[in-house]
Amino acid sequence: MSSASPERALAAPWLEEIRRLAGSLDREVRLMEVCGTHTVSIRRAGLRSLLPENVRLLSGPGCPVCVTPAGYIDLALSLLDQPDLVLATFGDMLKVPGASGSSLSSRMGTGRLRILYSPAELPALARAGARPVVFLGVGFETTAPTVAAAFLQAAREGIRNLYLFTAFKTVPPALRALLADPESRLDGFLLPGHVSAVLGLEPYRFLEEPGGLPGAVTGFEPLDLIEGILALLRQIAAGTHRVENSYPRVVRPGGNPRAREVLAELLEPEDALWRGLGSIPGSGLRLRPPYRALDASARFGLPPVWNSEPSGCGCARVLLGRLEPEACPLFGRGCTPESPIGPCMVSSEGSCAAAFRYGEVRA
């Protein structure tokens, strides 16, 4: 391997060991990442083409926008029927079609939709007027503490017109669901880097129990991903299944206790509906009783969310690793990032969008 950089020089022996281990296994090895940023990094770096033929990287339900049921978008749109209500959201929710086919982007220019870079903007947005402001809480354990910090700050300031419409999800219960799914046939998990920065390693320990799978907390640079893949292959070859930390420069074994404390002050687990996976016990986050008055669903009388897939859209199966994005009949034929049909093509972290932007051919 010619080495134009220290990164390549360091990666070369790791890739060589991956090839050797994969060769010794003599079967297909299916590794799943459960993190949208991993999805993009793997595709952007062209990592799949560097791996042996029998090592398959699958993207799981790690894109927060993608796992949000279509009905949530319809309910968010229905909130705009409330007079004067302002909807605040991260920008990646804008183009996701609801079950009705409409998306939030159809309401741009009405002055009622605010795109935020950070939840830290929420208290000032709510303070700016008496109008109710509803934040669309979509994300995993990395995002939820930041939103909790903003809502707790608003509560301390006595702000009473800020509401949360929660669709937060938590990763470990989804891993449990994938582990129990006989069709997934997985051999290991590349565990999410920034979710794990908050959680630490303990919430994944169930992977070490009988029937579990190897897990490696992995960073986002190409080298980090190669290191994580190697860690998993070493475990698979040795017939073990442990939770390893391959990203120690960011992830502490105990995670970030302060972030979890802030999250747990505002939010508590509840059952939640995922696109693709259905309802998973304890995999969502709702407002704790002292903060229920901030719940947009209760305040504005919203019904429960529901799943609905656009006709022909394979997103739900893509999220489970059952369908490669390129194998979906709509991929690139009617469904593109410019004109997406399902959320996996909408979000920049979606498997289909990443596959479309960084399309690669196996060597």
Partner 1 sequence: MRVERLLPEGKALVRQDGLETVVDISLVEHAQPGDHLIIHAGYAIEVLDSAEAEERLKLLDEAGARDKRPDSA
Least distance to partner 1, CB of residue 192, Å = 12
Residue ranges in 284-313 that form contacts with partner 1 under rule CB under 8 A = none
Per the CB < 8 A criterion, the answer to whether 56 and 31 are in contact is yes
Considering beta carbons, is residue 124 or 327 the nearer one to partner 1? 124
Q: In the set 31, 50, 162, 198, which binds partner 1 (CB under 8 A)?
A: 198
Does 194 contact partner 1 by CB under 8 A? yes
Q: What angle, rounded to 10 degrees, do the helices at 222-238 and 36-45 form?
A: 100
Q: Using an 8 Å Cβ cutoff, are 188 and 31 in contact?
A: yes
Interface with partner 1 includes 216 (CB under 8 A)?
A: no
Quick check: 199 binds partner 1 (CB under 8 A)? no
CA 41 to chain centre: 14
Count of positions on this chain that bind partner 1 (CB under 8 A): 30
**How many Å apart are CA 146 and CA 119, to the nearest integer?**
7
d(CA 51, CA 184): 20
Q: How far is the CB of 361 from partner 1 (least distance, A)?
A: 27
Among 160, 252, 288, 357, which residue sits at the site for partner 1 (rule: CB under 8 A)?
252
Which residues sit opposite 287 in a β-bridge? 267
Backbone angles phi, psi at 166, to 5 degrees: -85, 135
Where would I find the H helices in the chain? 6-25, 36-45, 64-67, 70-79, 122-127, 143-156, 171-180, 193-199, 222-238, 257-266, 296-299, 315-318, 343-346, 351-357
**Least distance from partner 1 to the Cβ atom of residue 111, Å:** 23
Query: Taking the complex as a whole, how short is the minimal distance between the CB of residue 234 and partner 1, in angstroms?
Result: 17
Should residue 185 be labelled a site residue for partner 1 when binding is judged by CB under 8 A? no
Nearer to partner 1, 94 or 280 (CB): 94
Residue with smaller CB distance to partner 1, 10 or 108: 10
CB of 356 to partner 1, least distance (A): 25
Q: Is 250 in the site for partner 1 (CB under 8 A)?
A: yes
Q: Are strands 55-59 and 29-33 parallel, antiparallel or unpaired?
A: parallel
Least separation in angstroms between CB 79 and partner 1: 21
Provide the residue type at 104 as one letter. Answer: L
CB 45 within 8 A of CB 330: no
State yes or no: residue 10 binds partner 1 (CB under 8 A).
yes
Q: Which of 90, 135, 189, 331 binds partner 1 (CB under 8 A)?
A: 90
Print the binding letters for residues 104-133 with partner 1: x by CB under 8 A, - otherwise. Answer: -------------xxxxx------------
Collapsing DSSP to helix, strand or coil, 217 comes out as strand
User: What token pair was written down for 82?
Assistant: 């409330």
Rule CB under 8 A: is residue 158 a binding residue for partner 1? Answer: no
- The single residue among 136, 262, 266, 330 that binds partner 1, judged by CB under 8 A, is 262
Q: Is 84 helix (H, G, I), strand (E, B) or coil?
A: coil
Choosing from 50, 51, 186, 251, the residue that interacts with partner 1 (CB under 8 A) is: 251
Cα separation, 200 vs 257, whole angstroms? 9
- Residue 121 or 208: the one with the smaller Cβ distance to partner 1 is 121
Q: What is the smallest separation between the CB atom of 96 and partner 1, expressed in angstroms?
A: 18
Strand partners, 284: 169, 270
| Chain residues that interact with partner 1, rule: CB under 8 A | 3, 5-10, 90, 117-121, 142-143, 145-146, 149, 194, 197-198, 248-252, 256, 258-259, 262
